[in-house]
């Protein structure tokens, strides 16, 4: 059976960055990766401007007690018309263009106004002028190909009027829940039934990983019901199904995927929970859909999403993905555990005085989603019967990392 690392490698080698699209300048650009370099169409600032509210003066007049005549008032957005000469000054607001002849702007706080004249209270001041083009010059490359757009970059795009932006798009992700026993969250489960927690959770996980999620409802454990939703889901970049991938008589997902031209890449991974996971690809024309069949137990679905679906979404969005996105953390409480497969156990991860620290949480197994509300990570426990001692280092998968923002060294990425 494949190891988790081998399976992750197969997922990443089958996922590829989506073709670039043109997107409007909007908050939807957050987290997108630029598919072009962006050049400034302006000098910024566009003119020598005042850094203060104050008075534009000649430096020769800068003396304590000097009295100057005010010849003009220049608000932001106005253009000065008068030249500053000895004995004269103009009232100027922050950001307004500096009038000719100005050597410095004396801040308002260092002056005293009497009628149409002003007295300087201090013999020295900073220049308080921001020179034209100090931040950027017209023609400068200001954002690079591949750069990730955050709020600051969105502001910079606005500065240079780049309102149509070439980016690698957010992947679309369709969610299909399966199971005759599953009912929608708004319903009251009857005997033998339970509510569809996976649907909502997987949509939220997808949104959190930067994808555009789409819910396709609950497929019953019959071929037609599954086929209909799988066909619809294959038009997305990623299709995630929950349930129906194990060995039960009604676990029909693998067979139906095969009839819909989904090429299986792997089925089953040596891990706990999540062993029955299935991964395949469906190529139509030049589009590819990555298909994940996750086991139905909610904790299994979550673990498989974190280990396999999330890296595939990052890759599809053009991000570089670390080959190993575990961190090594020191155990803070002894923990005895017996398992026949590498186990991803709910844990609490924190930064301690000497680095990452982890504590395994008491967990109720692969259907106990509630226990995961207290977890922010999964500690990876090796197979066998072990007492894990306090102070020991164990690998930990964070449930909420944003690797492209953390600047992973390129050598660790694929």
Q: Which of 243, 273, 346, 403 binds ligand AMP (CB under 6 A)?
A: 243
Nearer to ligand AMP, 298 or 401 (CB): 298
Q: How many residues bind Mg ion (CB under 5 A)?
A: 4
Q: By CB under 6 A, tell whether 40 contacts ligand AMP.
A: no
Nearer to Mg ion, 102 or 246 (CB): 246
197 binds, among ligand AMP, Mg ion, none (CB under 5 to 8 A by kind): ligand AMP
194 binds, among Mg ion, ligand AMP, none (CB under 5 to 8 A by kind): ligand AMP
Q: Least Å distance between CB 293 and ligand AMP?
A: 9
Binding segment for ligand AMP (CB under 6 A), chosen from 39-47, 80-88, 127-135, 296-304, is 296-304
Are the C-beta atoms of residues 327 and 358 closer than 8 Å to each other?
Answer: no
280 binds, among ligand AMP, Mg ion, none (CB under 5 to 8 A by kind): none
Q: Which of 123, 151, 189, 248 binds ligand AMP (CB under 6 A)?
A: 248
* φ/ψ bin of 292: left (φ > 0), alpha (ψ from -120 to 50), beta (otherwise): beta
Alpha carbons 324 and 405: distance in angstroms, whole number = 16
Are the C-beta atoms of residues 396 and 324 closer than 8 Å to each other?
Answer: no
Q: By CB under 6 A, tell whether 326 contacts ligand AMP.
A: no
How many CB atoms neighbour CB 111 within 10 A?
19
φ, ψ of residue 288 to 5 degrees: the values are: -125, 135
Distances (CA, A) of 145 to 22, 161, 166, 257, 387: 14, 17, 10, 37, 49
Residue 184 tokens read as 């929608």
Residue 221 tokens read as 């454990």
Are the C-beta atoms of residues 167 and 23 closer than 8 Å to each other?
Answer: yes
Distances (CA, A) of 64 to 91, 331, 384: 18, 66, 82
In the bound state, the residue with its beta carbon closest to ligand AMP is: 296
Q: By CB under 5 A, tell whether 199 contacts Mg ion.
A: no
Rounded to 5 degrees, what angle do the CA atoms 283, 287, 289 make? Answer: 60
Q: Which of 97, 213, 243, 395 binds Mg ion (CB under 5 A)?
A: 243
- Beta-carbon contacts of residue 195 (< 8 Å; ≥ 6 apart): 182, 183, 184, 185, 187, 189
**Residue 137 DSSP one-character state:** -
Closest CA to 296 of 397, 362, 201: 201
Q: Least Å distance between CB 4 and ligand AMP?
A: 19
Alpha carbons 295 and 243: distance in angstroms, whole number = 5
Binding segment for ligand AMP (CB under 6 A), chosen from 238-246, 280-288, 386-394, 403-411, is 238-246
Nearer to Mg ion, 103 or 180 (CB): 180
Nearer to Mg ion, 237 or 251 (CB): 251
Q: Which positions from 173 to 212 touch ligand AMP by CB under 6 A, shown as an x/- string?
A: ----x-x--x-----------x-xxxx-------------
Q: By CB under 6 A, tell whether 244 contacts ligand AMP.
A: yes
Q: By CB under 5 A, tell whether 169 contacts Mg ion.
A: no
Nearer to ligand AMP, 125 or 198 (CB): 198
Q: What is the CA radius of gyration of the chain?
A: 31
Binding segment for ligand AMP (CB under 6 A), chosen from 11-19, 164-172, 232-240, 290-298, is 290-298
Q: Which of 273, 296, 346, 395 binds ligand AMP (CB under 6 A)?
A: 296
Q: By CB under 6 A, tell whether 361 contacts ligand AMP.
A: no
Q: By CB under 5 A, tell whether 179 contacts Mg ion.
A: yes
Q: By CB under 5 A, tell whether 273 contacts Mg ion.
A: no
Q: Least Å distance between CB 380 and ligand AMP?
A: 22
Q: Least Å distance between CB 277 and ligand AMP?
A: 10
Question: What is the distance in angstroms between the CA of the first residue and the CA of the last residue of the chain?
Answer: 23
Q: What share of the chain is helix, strand, coil (3-state, %, to 5)?
A: 20, 35, 45
Are the C-beta atoms of residues 266 and 291 closer than 8 Å to each other?
Answer: no
Alpha carbons 300 and 254: distance in angstroms, whole number = 17
Query: Which residues of the shown chain bind ligand AMP in the complex (CB under 6 A)?
Result: 177, 179, 182, 194, 196-199, 242-244, 246, 248, 295-298
Query: Which residues of the shown chain bind Mg ion in the complex (CB under 5 A)?
Result: 179, 243-244, 296
């Amino acid at each position: 059976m494949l190891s988790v690392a081998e399976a992750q490698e197969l997922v990443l080698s089958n996922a590829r960055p989506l073709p670039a699209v043109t997107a409007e300048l909007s908050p939807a650009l957050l987290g997108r990766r630029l598919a072009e370099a962006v050049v400034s169409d302006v000098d910024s600032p566009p003119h020598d401007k005042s850094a203060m509210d104050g008075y534009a003066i000649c430096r020769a007049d800068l003396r304590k007690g000097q009295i100057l005549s005010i010849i003009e008032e220049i608000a932001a957005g106005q253009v000065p018309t008068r030249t500053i000469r000895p004995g004269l000054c103009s009232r100027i607001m922050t950001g307004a263009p500096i009038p000719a002849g100005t050597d410095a702007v004396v801040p308002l706080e260092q002056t005293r106004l009497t009628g149409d004249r002003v007295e300087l209270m201090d013999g020295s001041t900073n220049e308080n002028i921001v020179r034209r083009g100090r931040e950027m010059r017209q023609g400068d490359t200001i954002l690079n190909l591949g750069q990730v757009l955050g709020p600051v970059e969105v502001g910079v795009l606005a500065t240079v009027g780049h309102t149509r932006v070439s980016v690698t798009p957010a992947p679309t992700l369709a969610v299909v829940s399966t199971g005759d026993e599953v009912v929608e969250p708004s319903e009251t489960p009857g005997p033998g039934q339970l509510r569809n927690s996976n649907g909502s959770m997987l949509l939220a996980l997808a949104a959190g990983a930067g994808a555009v999620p789409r819910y396709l409802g609950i497929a019953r454990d019959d071929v037609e019901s599954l086929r209909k939703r799988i066909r619809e889901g294959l038009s997305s970049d990623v299709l995630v199904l929950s349930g129906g991938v194990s060995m039960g008589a009604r676990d029909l997902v693998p067979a139906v995927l095969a009839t819909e031209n989904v090429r299986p890449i792997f089925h089953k991974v040596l891990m706990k929970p999540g062993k029955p996971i299935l991964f395949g690809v469906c190529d139509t024309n030049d589009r590819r859909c990555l298909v994940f069949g996750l086991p139905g137990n909610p904790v299994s679905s979550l673990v498989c999403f974190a280990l396999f679906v999330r890296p595939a979404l990052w890759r599809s969005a053009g991000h570089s993905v670390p080959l190993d996105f575990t961190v090594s953390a020191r155990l803070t409480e002894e923990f005895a555990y017996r398992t026949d497969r590498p186990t991803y156990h709910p844990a609490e991860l924190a930064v301690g005085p000497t680095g990452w620290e982890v504590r395994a949480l008491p967990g109720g197994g692969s259907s106990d989603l509630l226990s995961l509300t207290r977890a922010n990570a999964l500690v990876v426990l090796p197979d066998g019967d072990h007492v894990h001692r306090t102070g020991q280092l164990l690998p930990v998968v964070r449930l909420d990392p944003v690797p492209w923002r953390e600047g992973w060294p390129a050598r660790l990425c694929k």
